[in-house]
Structure 1
Amino acid sequence: MEKEKLVQILWDYLRMNHKLEKSDCIVVLGSHDTRVAKRGAEIFLEGFAPLIVFSGGYGKLTKHIWNTTEAEKFARIAMDMGVPETSILIEDKSSNTGENILFVKDLINNKKIKVQKIIAVNKTYMERRTYAAFKKLWEDIDVIVTSPQMELTEYLAGYRSGEITEDEVINVMVGDLQRIKMYPEKGFQVHQDIPKEVWDAYLKLVEMGYTKHLC
Structure 2
Amino acid sequence: MASLIHTLALKVWDYHHLDHSLEKSDCIFVLCSNDTRVAERAAQLYLQGYAPFIVFSGGVGELTQNLFSGSEAEAFANIAIDLGVPETAILVEPHSTNTGQNVEFTRALLEQKGLNPDTFILVQKPFMERRTYATFMKQWPGKQAIVTSPQISFDDYPNDQITYSDVINVMLGDLQRIDAYPARGFSIEQDIPQDVWQAFEQLVHHGFNEHLI
TM normalised by structure 1 equals 0.96
Q: Which residue in the other structure is 2:35 paired with?
A: 33
1:11 is aligned to 2:9: no
1:185 is aligned to 2:183: yes
Partner residue of 2:139 out of 137, 140, 148: 137
**Preserved contact between residue 30 and residue 71 of structure 1 (Cα < 8 Å):** yes
Cα distance in 1 for residues equivalent to 2:75 and 2:67:
12
Partner residue of 1:61 out of 60, 63, 71: 63
Q: Which residue in the other structure is 1:199 paired with?
A: 197
Partner residue of 1:109 out of 108, 111, 115: 111
Cα distance in 2 for residues equivalent to 1:65 and 1:167:
20
Cα distance in 1 for residues equivalent to 2:96 and 2:106:
9
Cα shift at 1:114? 2.2
Q: Which residue identity does 2:30 align to in structure 1? A: V
Give runs of aligned pairs for residues 46-85 of structure 1, distance below 5 A.
46-85=48-87
Q: Which residue in the other structure is 2:91 paired with?
A: 89
Cα distance in 2 for residues equivalent to 1:126 and 1:86:
28
Structure 2: segments with no counterpart, 5+ residues:
none
**Preserved contact between residue 29 and residue 100 of structure 1 (Cα < 8 Å):** yes
Q: Percent identity between the aligned chains?
A: 51
Cα distance in 1 for residues equivalent to 2:161 and 2:7:
25
**Preserved contact between residue 8 and residue 152 of structure 1 (Cα < 8 Å):** yes
Cα distance in 1 for residues equivalent to 2:157 and 2:118:
31
TM normalised by structure 2 equals 0.97
RMSD: 0.9
Cα distance in 2 for residues equivalent to 1:49 and 1:164:
30
Cα distance in 2 for residues equivalent to 1:212 and 1:64:
21
Cα distance in 1 for residues equivalent to 2:102 and 2:46:
19
Q: Which residue in the other structure is 1:165 paired with?
A: 163
Q: Which residue identity does 2:93 align to in structure 1? A: E
CA-to-aligned-CA distance 1:153-177 (integer Å, 9 cap, x gap): 1223xx2xx1332211211111000
CA-to-aligned-CA distance 1:53-86 (integer Å, 9 cap, x gap): 0000011211143332100110010000000000
Q: Which residue identity does 2:149 align to in structure 1? A: S
Structure 1: segments with no counterpart, 5+ residues:
none
**Preserved contact between residue 23 and residue 48 of structure 1 (Cα < 8 Å):** yes
